[in-house]
Structure 1
C-alpha cells in the first residue's frame, strides 16, 4: 500500500501563521500589561481612598464629639459607611476598645469569581486619630470595599477583549491581503514553470513591483526564451538531418534508402503482417524533357508528379511514397490487395496522365505502373523484382498503362485462401455481433529490462479455426467502415478486464485514424473513460503519427482530456509520417514509439543510431518516454540499450501471449 505523502505547508500560510502569532503575542502581552497596570492603579486608589476616608472621618469626629458622645460618633460613621464604598469602619477608644463597628460582607455583583481570584486586590487599612485639642479621644480604622474596583476592572477587560478581537480580525484580513498581493508574482512564476514543464514556452511572467521578485521573473522569462529556442533548434536540426538522410530534396518525398528500409521492415519483421501492394511508377524520356524544357521545368514536373502520388496515397492509412531516382517513384499500400490495388493503380494512372506538365510532353506512352501484391512474408529483393517485372510488361504494351504481377502462389497464404469482399464483410459483421475478438498481449520492457512498463494489446479473430492477425482483417474492416466498431469493442473488452479485477497494470490500445476522425467515437470514448475512472488510469491510447495529418483537432481533444481523466497517450510509428516534430512541444504526449524501420539492422546504420539518439535527447527534454518497437535480434538490442532507451518491445524480448504474465 502506498503511503500517503504529507502535505507541505505553503509559504503564504507560513507567513500568515508567523505574522498572526507575532501580532497575537503582542496584543496578548499588551492586554496583560494593561490589566496589570489597571490593577496596580486600583490598588493605589483603594489605599488612597481608605486613608483619605479615615483622615476625614477622624477630623469630623474630633470636631463634633467628645470621648463620651458615642451616639454622635455612630451617626457620622453610619453616614459614611452607608455610601457602600467601605468594607469596614471601626472607632476605637484610647484603650483600643472598639466602640463603633460597621462591617460589610465581601459580595461583588456582576463579576465572575475566577476574575476576583485572578486579580486579587488587597484593600489596605487607613487609620486616623480622633483628638480634642491636645487630648487623644481614640482612633478610626477604614478599609475600602474592593467590589467597585473589581467591577471597573471587569468592565474594562470586556471592552479590551472586544477591541482585541476586532483588531485581530481586521489585522488578519489585512495581512492576508498584503501577503497574497506580495506572493502573487510567485504564483505567476509557478504558472510559467508549469508551462515550461508542459513544453509551452510562450507564457511570460508579469514584472512584479518588488525588486527581488522582479529579478526572479526576468530570470524565468529569459530561461523560458532560451529553452524554447533550444528546443526549436533541436527540432529543426533533427528534421534537417532526417531530410538530408531520408528525403528527396526536390520533391520532399522519402528517398530510395528510406523507402527500402521501411518496406523491408514491413515485409520481414515479426511485428507486422506482410499484406499489401507495391507500385513502381516511371515517367519515360525524362532526360529528353529536361533537354527540351530545361532543368527547372523538369523539377516542376517531378514536384507535380510527387504531389499527385502523395495525395492519392493519403487515402490509405500508413502508406508511404518515395522518389527512387530520376522520374521513378514507388508506393507501398499496406493492407491493400486484389481489386483495391487495381483500382488504386488505375485511378493514379488517370490522375498522373491528366497533369498539365505531363500533357505538355504530347505523348501517351510515357507513364507506366507496375503492381505487385503479397499476402505472405516475402523478401524485399523478390518483391521489388515482381513489381519491376510488372512495370516492364506495362512498358512493353506501349501506351500509358499499368500491369499487375501474377503468379499462382502469390495470392495465397498457408491454410488461407483469398476471400472475396462479401465473405470478409460477413466474417467481420459476425465477429462484431458475437464480440468474439481474441486478444494477445506483448509486454513492453523498461530500458534495463527489469520491469514491464505496459502491455500492448493485439487483436485477433478466428476464421475457419485459425487465428487471423489484425494486419490481415483491419484493412478489410477499414474498407467496410467498421474500424470504429472494432476499436469500441476492444476498449469495452479491456474495461471489463480491468473492472473485473483481472489486471491492474497498463494496457496500450491502438486507435485507428478513422476512429479518431469520428467525432461520435471520440465523444463516446471520453464519456466512457469518465464513467470508469479506475479503468481509465490503466489505459494508454496509441495513435499513429500519421493521424496528425488527418485528425489533429480530435487528437488535441483526446490529449487535452488525458490529464483530467487519467489515461495516457502514445504516438506510434514515430518518425515515418513526415510530420514536423513541433507537435511534441504543445501536445502532452506520454510515450513515443519509434517505428521498427529505424530499429531494423540499427547496428549497421549510423543514420538511424543518430536519429534515435537525437529523438531521445528531445523527448527526454519534454518528459516523454521513448520506446523502440520491433527489437527482434540481440544485435539490435545491444545497439539501442546504451543509448538510454526508456523501453522496448519485440520478439527478441518477448513474444505475444494469450495471457498477461
Structure 2
C-alpha cells in the first residue's frame, strides 16, 4: 500500500477515526476523573457525617469510668466496614482508642487504582463532656467500595463509549463512502484511459468540486473519442482508396506490389520461400460483350468470393485483385502447403466449371516460387507465360514449380529433426527446477542461435532489442518457416515453442537492464496450456532476466480478440510490455487497438517499403498521430536506406529498426570467449554493426 499510495477515502477515514478515538478517549477519561472526584467528595461527606454523629453519641461517656462504653460504640460503627480509621484523642492529644484496618485486596486492577487514586480525607469532630471539651474524634471512610464503584462505572462507560465509537465510525464510513463514491469512478476512468480504454463516467456527484472534475474528464474523453473516430475514419478511407479494390473489397495490385517488395527486401535464399499464384477468369470478356458489364461484375465478385473463401482456410494466404479478370495470392509456404493449395484450388475450379456453364471456362491458375532478388514484373511475366501455355484448370493438372525448392528434407527427415529439437525439452527441461534451469539449457546451444537487433529512437538510444531464433541441424541452417510449418503439421509446435522460450530465457541471463522483445506466435497465444506455462516460467526466472516485451502479430488479435486480450492483461500484471506487429495490415486495426492495453505498434512492412509514395506517407503520418493520441509508440521496422530512415524520423515515428541502421547480431559475438557463462552486460549500440560495416548474409 505504501508503494502504491493510499486512497483518499482511506486517508480521510483514518483521520476521522483518529479524531473520533481521541475525542471518545478524552471523554472517557474525563468521565472517570469526574466520577473519582465525586467519590472523593462523597467519602469526605460520609466521614464528616459519621464523625459528627458518633461524637454526639459518645459525648455522655467521656469520663474515665464510661470511656469503655464510648469505645464499644465506636467498635460497632467501625465493624460495619465503611471506615478505614476511627480515632479519639483527648485534649492532651493522647489517643484514648483507635481502630484501623489494613487496605484489603480488591478485584480492581492495580493499574486502575494507580491511574485514578481515591484520597479520602480524615474528617474531625470535637467531643464535649457537658460544658467541657473532652477531645477530638477523627474518622476516615474506607475506599474499597468506592474503588469498586469507580471500576464498574469505568467499565460501563468504556463499553458504552466503545459501542458509540463503532456506531459513529460506521456512520462516518458510509457517509464518506457515499460522498467519495464518484471519486472511485473517476479513478477507474483514469486507469481505463491509461490502458487505452476511453469511457465516460455516467455518475454525476452532488459535491461541487467532484462534479467539476467528472465533467472535465468526460469532456476530455469525449474529445479524444471524437478525434480518434475522425482520424480512424480518415485512415481507413485512405487505406481503402489506396489498397482496396472497390468491387471485390480485396487488396489491389498496389497492395500486392508493396507486399512483394517487402518480402524481397527481407527474404534471402537460405530463409523462407514465398510463392506467387495467378488466377484468371477467362470468360469475363465474353460475359461483358454478351450480357453486359453488370453481369461481368457479378462474375468477378462470384469468382472472388469462391476463391477467397477457399484460400482463407489456409493461414497467411492473401488474395489480391491485380487487374480486371486476374487475381493473385502471395504467401510464405512449404512445398507440402503449395501442394495442398494446388489440390484445393483445382477441386474448387473444376466444381465451379461444371456448375457455371461459361464459354471459356470458369477460372484457371498457375503458381511459382519467387526467386531471390526477382522483380515483381519478372515474376508476373513468368506467371503470365505459364498461364498461357500450361494453366492448371482440371483435376489431372500436375503441379510443376518453376523455381527449385530449397527444402531437401523429406517428411521423415523433418520428423527426426523436430524430435531432435523437442525431445530434450520434454525429457530434461519440462519439469526441471529453478536452480538447475540454466545448467539444463546449455545443450540447447547446439540446436538454436539467438539473434538480436536493436530498435532505436530518434536520439539513437536503444528503446529495446528484438530477439530472433535461428535453427541449425548438423551444421545446416534451417528455414524458419519450414521448421514452424512442419512442427505444426507433425503436432509438436507447442513443444518447439517451449524449447525456444527456454533457450531465449537461458541466453537472456547474460543481458542486464536492456529491454528484450520476444516474438510469440499466434498458435502459442491461442493455447492456454502454453500461456500458463510461459507465465509460470517467467515468474520463476524473473529475477535473472532483463525487462521483457512480447511481440504479437496483428493477425493473432484479429483471430481471437478475447484470448489475446487475456494474454495481454496477464503480461501487463507481470510488468511485461506488449508490441503489436504488422499494425495497419488489416482495416480493423483501429477498431481493436484502442481497447488493448499495449505499449508499441510496429507498422506493417508494406507501408515502410512504400513510404516514398505521398499517399502512403500521409497514411503513416495519420496512423502515427492516432497512436500518439491514445498513448502508443510507433515503430518502423525493415528500414534499409538512409532515405527511408529520414522520412520516418520526420513524421515523428518513435522507434526505428532495420539493417539500414544496425544489423542483426548473433549473441555469441557479443559474449567474450574468455569469460565464463556467468558473464552479463547491458547492451549498447556499439555492440551492433552499423550498415557501413555490415555485409549482407
Q: TM tier, shorter chain? A: 0.7 to 0.9
Distance in 2 between residues matched to 1:340 and 1:67, nearest whole Å? 136
Q: Is the 8 A contact 2:9 2:176 kept in 1?
A: yes
Q: Is the 8 A contact 2:363 2:393 kept in 1?
A: no
Q: Point out the more displaced range, 122-131 or 215-224.
A: 215-224
DSSP-derived class of the 1:581 partner: helix
DSSP-derived class of the 1:243 partner: helix
Match of 1:55 among 52, 55, 58: 52
The corresponding residue for 2:33 is 36
Change (3 A) 1:36 1:543: closer
Alpha-carbon displacement from aligned partner over 1:506-550 (angstroms, at most 9, x marks no partner):
554444445556x5xx42342353255234786644433234455
The corresponding residue for 1:629 is 637
Report the TM-score when normalising by structure 2.
Answer: 0.78
The corresponding residue for 1:619 is 627
Deviation at 1:440, TM superposition (A): 3.4
Deviation at 1:209, TM superposition (A): 7.5
Alpha-carbon displacement from aligned partner over 1:312-349 (angstroms, at most 9, x marks no partner):
43344433332223223222232355x86476457536
Distance in 1 between residues matched to 2:340 and 2:36, nearest whole Å? 108
Map of 1:434-453 to 2, 5 A cutoff? Answer: 437-447=447-457, 448-453=459-464
Map of 1:437-586 to 2, 5 A cutoff? Answer: 437-447=447-457, 448-462=459-473, 465-471=475-481, 473-475=483-485, 483-497=493-507, 507-513=516-522, 519=527, 522-535=528-541, 540-548=549-557, 550=559, 554-563=563-572, 569-586=578-595
Match of 1:596 among 605, 629, 644: 605
Aligned length: 640
DSSP-derived class of the 1:142 partner: strand
Structure 2 residue 377 is the aligned partner of structure 1 residue 381? yes
Q: Is the 8 A contact 1:84 1:145 kept in 2?
A: no
Deviation at 1:246, TM superposition (A): 1.4
Alpha-carbon displacement from aligned partner over 1:425-466 (angstroms, at most 9, x marks no partner):
367446535775322312232423312513322323346x44
Q: Is the 8 A contact 2:347 2:395 kept in 1?
A: no
Deviation at 1:216, TM superposition (A): 5.8
Q: Point out the more displaced range, 212-221 or 556-565.
A: 212-221
The corresponding residue for 1:419 is 408
Distance in 2 between residues matched to 1:131 and 1:615, nearest whole Å? 118
Report the TM-score when normalising by structure 1.
Answer: 0.81
The corresponding residue for 2:320 is 322
DSSP-derived class of the 1:546 partner: helix
The corresponding residue for 1:290 is 288
Deviation at 1:203, TM superposition (A): 8.0
Distance in 2 between residues matched to 1:613 and 1:175, nearest whole Å? 54
Deviation at 1:630, TM superposition (A): 0.5
Structure 2 residue 641 is the aligned partner of structure 1 residue 645? no
Structure 2 residue 240 is the aligned partner of structure 1 residue 243? yes
Change (3 A) 1:486 1:290: same
Match of 1:18 among 15, 34, 40: 15
Alpha-carbon displacement from aligned partner over 1:22-72 (angstroms, at most 9, x marks no partner):
222222222232233223323333333333333334433455656885444
Q: Is the 8 A contact 1:205 1:217 kept in 2?
A: no
Q: Is the 8 A contact 2:451 2:467 kept in 1?
A: yes
DSSP-derived class of the 1:576 partner: coil
Q: Is the 8 A contact 2:272 2:479 kept in 1?
A: no
Alpha-carbon displacement from aligned partner over 1:100-119 (angstroms, at most 9, x marks no partner):
33242562441555555552
Distance in 2 between residues matched to 1:311 and 1:585, nearest whole Å? 29
Alpha-carbon displacement from aligned partner over 1:63-91 (angstroms, at most 9, x marks no partner):
56568854444444444444444454454
Q: Point out the more displaced range, 25-34 or 529-538.
A: 529-538
Q: Is the 8 A contact 2:200 2:222 kept in 1?
A: no
Deviation at 1:483, TM superposition (A): 4.3
Deviation at 1:597, TM superposition (A): 1.8
Deviation at 1:568, TM superposition (A): 5.2
Deviation at 1:260, TM superposition (A): 0.7
Q: Is the 8 A contact 1:507 1:539 kept in 2?
A: yes
Map of 1:341-352 to 2, 5 A cutoff? Answer: 341=338, 344=341, 347-348=344-345, 351-352=348-349
Distance in 1 between residues matched to 2:536 and 2:524, nearest whole Å? 19
Deviation at 1:251, TM superposition (A): 1.2
Change (3 A) 1:211 1:275: same
Gaps of 5+ in 1: none
Structure 2 residue 292 is the aligned partner of structure 1 residue 309? no
Deviation at 1:263, TM superposition (A): 0.6
DSSP-derived class of the 1:386 partner: helix
DSSP-derived class of the 1:326 partner: coil
Change (3 A) 1:557 1:65: closer
Q: Point out the more displaced range, 321-330 or 524-533.
A: 524-533
Deviation at 1:651, TM superposition (A): 1.0
Q: Is the 8 A contact 2:450 2:504 kept in 1?
A: no
Q: Point out the more displaced range, 22-31 or 144-153.
A: 144-153
Deviation at 1:497, TM superposition (A): 3.9
Distance in 2 between residues matched to 1:252 and 1:232, nearest whole Å? 22
Change (3 A) 1:319 1:648: farther
DSSP-derived class of the 1:325 partner: coil
Q: Is the 8 A contact 1:268 1:378 kept in 2?
A: no
Change (3 A) 1:258 1:358: farther
Structure 2 residue 264 is the aligned partner of structure 1 residue 264? no
Gaps of 5+ in 2: 425-443, 671-697
